[in-house]
Chain A
Amino acid sequence: MNILVVLEDKSGSIHRMSQEAIAGAQQIGGECNLSIGILALGNNAPALAEQAAKYEATEVLSMENEHLNQYTADGYAAAVAQVIANENPQYVFFGHTYQIRDYVPRISVKLQRPFLNDVVSCSTNEGKPVFSKQAFNAKLLAGLHPQGSGPVLVSFQSATFSSDNIQNGTANVRSVTVEMDTGTIKTVPEEPFQEAAGGVDLSSADLIVAIGRGIGKEENIPMAQELAKVMGAEIASSRPVVDSDWLAPHHQIGSSGQTVAPKLYLALGISGAIQHVVGMKGSKNIVVVNKDPDAPIFELADYGVVGDMLEIVPKLTAALQE
């Protein structure tokens, strides 16, 4: 294959951002005439491979190994580097997830090949893909150009491609093996845990009601929660709300929180500091309510209201309840 997409396991299913990477591989592969392989690894590899085999691709590789049952950067970097060296694709695509940030730079060293990470756009020039990333607090865009020859590692920021565009098909599944000895792994992971009860996966939420400084005081939080409940939405926030301890940290969207791309992002009283915007700008519909007509978040809005969220939210909740 010419493009190898490496999947990330999310409790036995393919991570949403890996699906976006598959959609990207299909789009770029179509434009540049490149064939696609998909790699599933870890203890859920058979289940992931079965899901991936229903997508349009040349083949699906499935890799199991006792050293890969639990994620470690040591183990995953060593194993994926071996597969890349054996298969020698032109490109290796990943979703830019937390796990990818953790181990893929080590593959870059092992293979002496570039890792073009957090890519936000890809165009085609003379039959070749050209990748760009954001820089300087996401205010500027820059081109990334691989040097030398051999596989190029690329990870895509959330919402660069849409998983809605995945083409279905049938692909054969092939088992692949790697040589790994116990000495490779110098890390002993413990069981993952949630800090606060009721932690939600905002990245898979369809509807998000996000609140910022405009909420004013802690006593107003239930007002926003009530609206979210009526809409069937998850509640999220910008950093000031979490820093004030009005919501738990896992509700935070942005560069030090989660990255989301819901169908609707309702931003209430959020000014749109760049640290917040990087986490939500991929949302399909952005509706903004803010008192300040100059708030930068209006630049991203599909629908904008200049007004006080504290007046609008209770009436909106009541109207939606009818």
Chain B
Amino acid sequence: MNICVLVKQVPGSDAHFAITADGAWIQEAELPFEMNESDNYALEEALQIREQNGDGEVVVVSLGPDRCQKTIREALAKGADRALHIKEEPPYHSDPYAIASAIANAIKAENFDLVLSGLQSDDLGFGQTGVILGELLGMTTATLVVGTEIQDGKIRVKRELEAGWFQWQTMELPASLAIQSGLNTPRYPSLKGIMTAKKKEIKTVSLAEVFADDNLQEFNGLSVQHVEKQTEMIEGSVDQVVNRLVDVFKNEIRIN
């Protein structure tokens, strides 16, 4: 079982964003970057599948600028076998189709049995890359995956539906699965892992070599979200607050 894990480096969740003068992107200089949250779960799931099966490789694939090497090393330190860095220079591409198409070109020859990705990235948040990549490579696809079981030539996956419902489905391989956060407990790199990661291979290709310039949509005109809400602050003693809340519920929001 050879597994590809798509890992993206994104700004940390507590980051404060400033927009570049042309509105095309954010100012990156001061930002902290980290591995996208759901990608971390996808990586852990890949490592566990490899360990349970006792054979095969976990290959990390990351598209982005030089700074991504830090995230790639982290994934290698956790136990991935090798990595492919598709190196992009700014201005960055954002169309999920064009990006998935470039990744497809870069990994096609590897004939992976399984592609795992995080459900969506915390930066652009399209949540399409894994599914598009699967369709481009003729794989079965599933999203919101919260459990996996390898079977003979197939994979059985548990999907999260809405409103607390779940569903298992059995899929032919190769398959591309978009992983939901929380399905496992991602490991931390061990000291040994960190040492051996330094010797593991990171192959680099430039995005230009695999990019087909086949954008279907453009993402631009970034602006800060303004919430313009008038808030009535309810003040006073606990009893006064409670009385006003009851009044609001019954006479203004009309809860029944």
A-to-B contact residues, CB < 8 Å: 72-74, 77, 97-99, 101-103, 105-106, 108-110, 112-118, 133-148, 186-196, 199-203, 207, 231-232, 248-250, 256, 258, 263-264, 274-275, 285, 287, 298-307, 311-312, 315-316, 319-320
Nearest to B131 among chain A residues (CB) is A105
Contacts of A300 in B (CB 8 A): 227, 229
Contact at A305–B245, with CB atoms within 8 Å?
Answer: yes
B96 at the interface (CB under 8 A from A): yes
Contacts of A191 in B (CB 8 A): 167
B216 at the interface (CB under 8 A from A): yes
Q: Taking the nearest CB of chain A, how far is it from the CB of B148, in angstroms?
A: 14
Contacts of B141 in A (CB 8 A): 73, 102, 106
Q: Taking the nearest CB of chain B, how far is it from the CB of A306, in angstroms?
A: 7
Contact at B161–A192, with CB atoms within 8 Å?
Answer: yes
Contacts of A306 in B (CB 8 A): 233, 235
Contacts of B11 in A (CB 8 A): 136-137
Nearest to A115 among chain B residues (CB) is B128
Cα–Cα, bound, A195→B248 (Å): 36
**Binary interface profile of B, 173-212, with partner A (CB < 8 Å = 1, else 0)?**
0000000111000000000000000000000000000000
Q: Which of B151-181 contact A (CB under 8 A)?
A: 159-172, 180-181
B-to-A contact residues, CB < 8 Å: 11, 13, 15, 17, 19, 26, 95-97, 122-128, 131-132, 134-136, 140-144, 159-172, 180-182, 215-225, 227, 229-235, 238-239, 241-243, 245-246, 248-249, 253, 255-256
Contacts of A72 in B (CB 8 A): 169
Contact at A186–B140, with CB atoms within 8 Å?
Answer: yes
Output the residue of B95, B241, B246 with the most chain A CB within 10 A. Answer: B241
Contact at B17–A113, with CB atoms within 8 Å?
Answer: no
Cα–Cα, bound, A256→B220 (Å): 26
Contacts of A116 in B (CB 8 A): 217
Cα–Cα, bound, A312→B161 (Å): 35
Contact at A145–B143, with CB atoms within 8 Å?
Answer: no
Contact at B144–A140, with CB atoms within 8 Å?
Answer: no
Contact at A319–B13, with CB atoms within 8 Å?
Answer: no
Output the residue of A108, A192, A231 with the most chain B CB within 10 A. Answer: A108
Contact at B169–A110, with CB atoms within 8 Å?
Answer: no
Nearest to B97 among chain A residues (CB) is A108
Contact at B26–A136, with CB atoms within 8 Å?
Answer: yes
